[in-house]
Amino acid sequence: MMENRRKGIEWRFTPPNVIEEAEGKNVNAILELLKELQEADAEMTRLENLIRSVPEELGQQGTALESAKAGLEAFHKSVEAAKKERLLKEGAVETKTQGIAKAKLKLNEVKTNQEYNAALAEIENMKRAVSLLEDEQLEIMERLESARADEKALKERVATEEAEFAKVKAEKEALVAKLGAEAKTWAARRAEVAAKVDPAYLSHYDRIYKVRENKAVAGLKNGYCQACYQSVLPQLALEVRMGTAIHKCPHCLRFLYYVPEEERETREKVG
């Protein structure tokens, strides 16, 4: 049969070794298989996307845990820094105290009132410095004492986040297992359907599915392809409706199947 063409684009799909004009029920059966194939592929894609999203969702929960751990680690570092500061001040107090003792011994060696008064002033300065250092030590000790309650709260937060992370991780692992099982079921169904499809149709389907937004089969409604929304020639629309041959959209090359009027009206009512 002579091929129909529109602007040089072939729109009748005639694979080799396949009868072009077939019984209507055979054409419909082929289209149903292609639609089932697309349904299986769509489900597999959906499940795969869900499985890929799991690590990201788990990572968000892990971020909360890492934040809690980082807070506790920063707290411990600040406590260690305070302890070191306290030790430094203790050492400074010890040095100043020894200096006061030496200065007092020198009082017995001074020969003039001026030297005596200078030694006394030095001793008073060191005493004031010691008093200030001791006040600072006390402040640090008070901070360390109150830090115990902060540490308890931080540890509790880490424990809570760890428990939540473990819970979410177990849930996500169970979900991945469930989704994986579903994907395998659909893959088996896909293989079963694909085995019934003529290789030429299957090859065209696979090629279009990859390049046309995961859709290789589209309805033809009111003369318009429901995938690319371009109109087709009336003769093509009639042949698709008659179901005497397998056709593809002249614009997007997707397989076309007729959408009955009653099916359209039902969808409009539901919508």
Q: Is the pLDDT of residue 96 over 80?
A: yes
- Smallest CA-to-CA distance from 203 within 10, 45, 18, 46 is with 18
Q: Is 109 helix (H, G, I), strand (E, B) or coil?
A: coil
Q: Which residues pair with 217 in a beta bridge?
A: 255
Provide CB contacts within 8 A for 216, sequence distance 6+: 34, 38, 204, 205, 206, 208, 209, 254, 255
What pLDDT is recorded for position 208? 96
What pLDDT is recorded for position 147? 83
pLDDT in tens, 201-256: 999 999 999 999 999 999 999 999 999 999 999 999 999 999 989 999 999 999 99
Higher pLDDT, 235 or 266: 235
pLDDT in tens, 51-95: 999 988 888 888 889 999 999 999 898 888 888 988 998 899 899
pLDDT in tens, 138-185: 888 888 888 888 888 999 999 999 999 999 999 999 999 999 999 999
Report DSSP letters for 165-195, one per residue.
HHHHHHHHHHHHHHHHHHHHHHHHHHHHHHT
Q: How far is CA 251 from the centre of its chain?
A: 36
pTM summary value: 0.61
Q: Is 258 helix (H, G, I), strand (E, B) or coil?
A: strand
What pLDDT is recorded for position 25? 52
Query: In order of start, what are the domains of the chain with their CATH numbers?
Result: 44-174 (1.10.287.1490)
Q: Is 198 helix (H, G, I), strand (E, B) or coil?
A: coil
pLDDT in tens, 117-130: 888 888 899 899 99
